[in-house]
Amino acid sequence: MEIDSTKQPDEKTILDTFGLEYSTLRETSRDGSKHEEMSFLEKQVINFDKVKSYYLSRLDKGPCKMPLSNDALFQIGDTWYFVEFKNGVIDTEENIGIVNKIYNSLFIFLEIINKHIDYSRNNIVYILVFNEDCLKKGITPNFKVNEYLKDKKKYESLRLVEENKLACDEINPSNYRAALFTSLQNIKFDSSSLTAQFDLARFERFIFKKVYTIPKYAFDNFFNRYILNK
């Protein structure tokens, strides 16, 4: 079940190991109970829930209790990204479930690629995508509202840049809207300054290279600008 540790792991090797096909961020973000999608991106990813299922099917007796797993896994360059989509309320119990998914997924992944925790610490980024609309229904004690309000202003500046980029793609640079886009590009958006919510910051530089908690409405723009085109 392990991949040769002398070789750099990649998506195709993992898919081939378990006989899987690519999924997409859009598919893995789908909330079947609400018939909603939390992302519209068609970026190819590994459905890690399926990896977990095939991994467990190869264990002799299976676990005493079914482990949880993150939704998606993908690689850009030498960096891996775990993504978990959470469309419902994140109360204390759900927060614990997210943490369990992190540990379970990481244990499975590191065994598959035959690597140690230092590999994860240097090469894996974790992203939790949550639904802001659900916060008012039940906020975990681990959600820092004041910090989120600061981050929300940053997401708004990012949205303006992306929307005006689309509007100005084929407009002469001398045009007003193109000039507006140029000025908007200069808006500072430091992704490293975003606050990791739900007490997940403790995993940064411990088991993950970086941890992000991104609201649903901002995820696609954030992905396109700071992950896909970094």
Write down the pTM of the prediction.
Answer: 0.86
Instruction: Note whether 134 and 140 are within 8 A (CB).
Output: no
pLDDT at residue 108 in the model: 95
Give the per-residue pLDDT at 181: 47
How much is the pLDDT for 199?
95
pLDDT recorded at residue 165: 59
Q: What angle do CA 132, 138, 143 make, to 5 degrees?
A: 65
Instruction: Check residue 180 and give its pLDDT.
Output: 46
> Mean pLDDT of residues grouped by 10 in the chain (230 residues)?
69 93 97 91 97 88 81 96 95 93 96 94 97 77 89 85 57 51 51 90 96 96 85
Q: What is the pLDDT, as a whole number, of residue 116?
A: 93
- Looking at residue 14, its pLDDT comes to 94
Q: Give residue 42's pLDDT.
A: 97
pLDDT of residue 175: 56
